[in-house]
Structure 1
Amino acid sequence: MADGSSSSSSPASSRSSSCRRSRRRSTRSAPTPARPPCRLVTVSDTRRVVGGQEACHHARMPDRLDLVTRRDLLRGTLGTPAALAGGGLIAACVPPGGPTGVASPGATLPPPETTTVRFVSPPVCDPPAALAKQFLLEEGFTDIQYVRIPATTTEWLTSGVAEFNSGGYGSLIAANVDIGLPIVALAGIHPGCFELFAAPGISTIKDLRGKTIAVNAKNVSDLFYCYFSILLAYIGLDPRTDVNFIEIKPDVNALRDAFVDGRSQAFIAPAASGPALRRNPKNPGKVILDTTMDKPWSQYYCCQLVANRDWARRYPIATKRVTRAVLRAADLVTKDRPSAAHQFVAGGFFSTTPAATDEDIVNEVIRDLSYDWRELDPEETLRFFALRLADAKLITMTSQQVIAQGSDFAYMRQLRTELKQ
């Protein structure tokens, strides 16, 4: 659940040119209650205030164009009208009459056992984790931190710098449950968001046989190694012998650079990495797999809300309140995606060069994702990825053992009834 001129051969580029419609936003002038500023925290505990109250509430909200894509049309035919419904503007930090820093009057839970919660700074595909701040205040949390650390590894968990990560990928969850890490999946957030870019001459995953692929680490702690292994095993290749994995650290940007300069012949682009690569005139490849659209990958959650299992057991009420806040925020994203993209950028969660493209990239990422967390079964996601990891001989647990030890979806299922759309 952690990242330019477009190539004319890119399928995603051609999909995004269908039709345009303008949307006007209204602004609110009502006064808002005082609240703590959003905080981003680095791993070294260097803290900075991002977008204080005045900066947030007076940020300009420019008019922009929305794109209606084939994905939007498909979702409309699949019975998910909520994903296309319009909604009111999401306030930059606190909406008028919104969070007050205490539990909401309609809360059905006791107060949280702790008022401090730390999130991995969410990837671009996960605005709900960022927008959840307003609901976390309602749930009784007063110290809400976002830690700058990759969502694509388990460093946040092993180093103890955060309790929650909205970028919990099914493959990474299953693999790390298998090796005994205290990770627990609590809720699905959205499917999709990965694009597989390949060098010229590679048109299918089978064509990756004998090719060189860069990953951050050649073990199950690394999302990219896990996902490539699953893709290869799914079509009958052995990831241990049929491709040449090389380690390039420290993050996804290093893998992107290795693909651009030819050291790697394939690149899994999560979230903003795909749109950014399409904008890069040096991009040598094209997309051969889009997990938002291509089955079976599009039928399972990509990002899930995961927690440190020890923390969740110590603070069960706080864990439920965090889960509820994130899922309420997911509903807001569904109702007004352009506004959610604006809030994500204004909150300091994403920046590129030039900065003018920030909001465009976030919009491109989230426009095509379904945040209807009521739609899919997160347990089936873990089962699917556990079985694929077993095929790749990367885990020894059965899928049922992974689900039993690495998930607790009971409260998410309860919220499907309690939180009306």
Structure 2
Amino acid sequence: MDRRAILRALAAGVIGSGIGARPGFAAEPPPETTRIRLNRYPFDVACVAPQWVAEELLRAEGFEKVEYVSIKGDGDLMAAGKIDMMFLDAPGLIQAVDEGQALLGLGGMHGGCYELFGNAQVRSVLDLRGRTVAVSTKGRHAFVAAMASYVGLDPRKDLKIVLTPDAKQQFVEGKVDAVLGFPPEPQEFRARKTGRLIVNTTADRPWSQYFCCFATGNRDFVRKYPVATKRVLRALVKAVDICAAEPDKVVRGLVDRGFLKDHDYSLQALREIPYRRWREYDSADTIRFFALRMHEAGVIKSSPQKVIADGMDWRFVNELKRELKG
């Protein structure tokens, strides 16, 4: 069975059972543009799998040209207008809004993802005092700063956070004391018994009570194409539910298509990520929580209220929560 047939079968079997089209969808106007650009990575990032699963769902929403643009990390290309929509972690999104980048957070897609690992001397976040943590993106840097601030550490004085593309390898080689892993890195660390798990944001409070990744759009795209924006977001949340219901089929398909390389670790990641929380959690609560921590840590200058006012638009996801009741 080819990937389109697989996705059609998944859509029919999963979406049809609980989140299929409700009356009124057919009456919606067509998207103002039939081209949509999302992102992909040259390395494995398992948690954003819904973006790639959504391809045929996007075509069903009226997008004739679905493009995947390769990026290496944060949302700079989207802010520059090279990508229309992508998943971005909450701290990275908040930081981008604080910097004035042309992005809009549209709604939380799932919780979990990040896991903090330390060496034998690190047993808690408080043990990071005087130590070095490696991270590979600005969003991860902000996340570690938020964790430190939450337990009373000043990330500007009490620890060193190193931004480096080889964060994982530096930790494995013992060059740093801790690292913030992103799926499927934590799954590999656990399998190989690398380091000690300090924080699992899927299970450990307060982090498990909030979203990790947000659907985020280029601001000009969202404002110019509101119908298209809602249609993209609908395809994405349906894909989120497909990932929750059929992780085995999803991972096999994405490995076959070249979006993922490691099957086993990626499959474990999809089984662990709480995808269905997009219906349950409040996006604004997550932004307020992280923005406050990041403001306390000196990572951003904006207040949580200003971040939400300047860089968030919940109307689409709120409509979809009402329309796609599972």
What is the CA-CA distance between 1:334 and the residue it aligns to? Answer: 2.4
- For residues 226-257 of structure 1, give each alpha carbon's deviation from its aligned partner in whole angstroms, at most 9, with x where no partner exists: 11111111111111111123342xx3xx1000
Structure 1 residue 155 corresponds to structure 2 residue 76: yes
2:112 aligned residue: 192
Asked if 2 retains the 8 angstrom alpha-carbon contact of 1:386 and 1:398, the reply is: yes
Equivalent residue, structure 1, for 2:177: 265
Aligned to 2:17: none
SS in 2 for 1:328: helix
Structure 2: gaps of 5 or more residues: 13-20
User: 364, 372, 385: which one pairs with 2:268?
Assistant: 364
- Pairing 1:181–2:101 present: yes
Aligned to 1:415: 320
Alignment pair present for 1:255 and 2:167: yes
Q: d(CA) in 1 for partners of 2:285 and 2:210?
A: 7
1:113 deviates by 1.3
Cα distance change on mapping 1:365 and 1:319 into 2, 3 Å: same
Determine what percentage of the aligned residue pairs are the same residue: 34
In structure 2, distance between residues paired with 1:125 and 1:264: 25
Distance 2:299 2:211 in 1: 20
- TM-score, structure 2 as length reference: 0.89
Shift of 1:109: 2.2
- Aligned to 1:196, the other structure's residue is in SS state strand
- What is the CA distance between 1:144 and its match in structure 2? 0.7
SS at match of 1:185: strand
**Partners in 2 of 1:387 and 1:138 — Cα distance?**
40
Distance in 2 (CA, whole Å) between partners of 1:393 and 1:246 is: 16
Deviation at 1:175, TM superposition (A): 1.4
Partner of 2:6, secondary structure, is coil
Backbone CA RMSD of aligned residues: 2.1
Rounded Cα–Cα distance in structure 1 between residues aligned with 2:274 and 2:244: 7
Q: Work out whether residues 271 and 365 of structure 1, in 8 Å CA contact, stay in contact via their aligned partners in 2.
A: yes
Change (3 A) 1:108 1:408: farther
**CA 1:96–1:406: 2 relative to 1, 3 Å:** closer
1:92–1:346 CA contact under 8 A, matched in 2 = no
Deviation at 1:343, TM superposition (A): 2.3
In 2, the alpha carbon distance for the partners of 1:96 and 1:359 equals 19
Higher helix share: 2
CA contact (8 A) 1:230 1:389 kept: yes
AA paired with 1:379?
A
Equivalent-residue separation in structure 2 for 1:406 and 1:278 (angstroms): 36
Q: Which has the higher contact order (CA 8 A, sep 6+)?
A: 2
What amino acid is the match of 1:229?
A
Find the counterpart in structure 2 of residue 294 from structure 1: 204
1:332 aligns to what? 242
1:117–1:346 CA distance, 2 compared to 1 (3 A): same
Indicate whether 1:234 and 2:156 are aligned. no
The aligned amino acid for 2:28 is L
Cα deviation, residue 139, structure 1: 0.7
Residues 386 and 399 of structure 1 are in contact (CA less than 8 Å); yes or no, is this contact kept in structure 2? Answer: yes
Structure 2 residue matching 1:171: 3-state secondary structure: helix
Matched residue of 2:217: which SS? strand
AA aligned to 1:155 is D
**How far, CA to CA, are the matches of 2:317 and 2:156 in structure 1?**
37
Give CA deviations for 1:104-129 in whole Å, capped at 9, x if unaligned. 89434211111111111173012221
Moved over 4 A (4+): none
In structure 1, runs of 5+ residues without a counterpart are 1-27, 29-53, 58-90, 99-103, 352-357
SS of residue matched to 2:309: helix
Q: In structure 2, how many angstroms separate the alpha carbons of the residues matched to 1:247 and 1:411?
A: 34
Letter in 2 for 1:362: S
Retained in 1: the 8 A contact 2:80–2:102? no
1:143 aligns with 2:65: yes
Alignment equivalent of 2:124, drawn from 185, 195, 204? 204
- 3-state secondary structure, aligned to 1:186: strand
State whether residues 134 and 180 of structure 2, in contact with CA within 8 Å, keep that contact through their aligned partners in structure 1.
no
Deviations 1:175-221 (A, max 9, x none): 1111111111112111011111101111000101111222347xxxx
- What CA deviation, in whole Å up to 9, does each residue of 1:53-91 have, x standing for no partner? x5x37xxxxxxxxxxxxxxxxxxxxxxxxxxxxxxxxx4
Equivalent in the alignment of 2:16: none
Paired residues for 1:334-349 under 5 Å: 334-349=244-259
